Amino acid sequence: AQTVTQSQPEMSVQEAETVTLSCTYDTSESDYYLFWYKQPPSRQMILVIRQEAYKQQNATENRFSVNFQKAAKSFSLKISDSQLGDAAMYFCAYRGGPTSGTYKYIFGTGTRLKVLA
C-alpha cells in the first residue's frame, strides 16, 4: 500500500525568507500524482501545487516550487519570499495513476509552518 511521510511536524521561517518542507512516499507504481495542500486556521484545504510523476520538470506556482526526485521518492515544497499568510498546515498527498483503479488521495501527517515577522 502507498504511504506518505512528512517528517517535520513543525517548521518556522522568517518573513521574506525561504523554507523547504519535506515529503517522502512509497509506491510501486510508475505513474502517479503528488500534491501539496495548505490548510490555514479556517481549515479549508487549498491546493498549492501539483506534480505529475511522468513529468521530469518540477512544478512551480509563483513563490511555490517543488523538488521532485522520483528515484528517491521525494517531493519537497519550497516556499520563497515567505509571507505571513503562508502560515498554515501543509499536507503532502499522493494519488495513483490512471491504471491504479483508485482516485483517492493519501495524505501525510502534515507540517505546521509558522512565519515569523
- 62 lies in the site for other proteins, by CB under 8 A: no
> Which member of 70, 78, 105, 114 binds other proteins (CB under 8 A)?
105
**Contact predicate 37/46, CB 8 Å:** yes
Query: Using the rule CB under 8 A, is 103 a contact of other proteins?
Result: yes
58 with 67: CB under 8 angstroms?
yes
Measured over the CA atoms of residue 65, residue 108, residue 70 and residue 11, the dihedral's sign is: positive
Examine residue 106 and tell whether it contacts other proteins (CB under 8 A): yes
Query: Which of residues 69 and 109 has its CB atom nearest to other proteins in the complex?
Result: 109
Binding of other proteins at residue 102 (CB under 8 A)?
Answer: yes
For position 91 contacting other proteins by CB under 8 A, the verdict is yes
Taking CB under 8 A as the rule, does residue 43 contact other proteins?
yes
The region of 10-18, 22-30, 40-48, 55-63 touching other proteins under the rule CB under 8 A is 40-48
* Residue ranges in contact with other proteins by CB under 8 A: 33, 37, 42-47, 50, 52, 91, 95, 98, 102-110
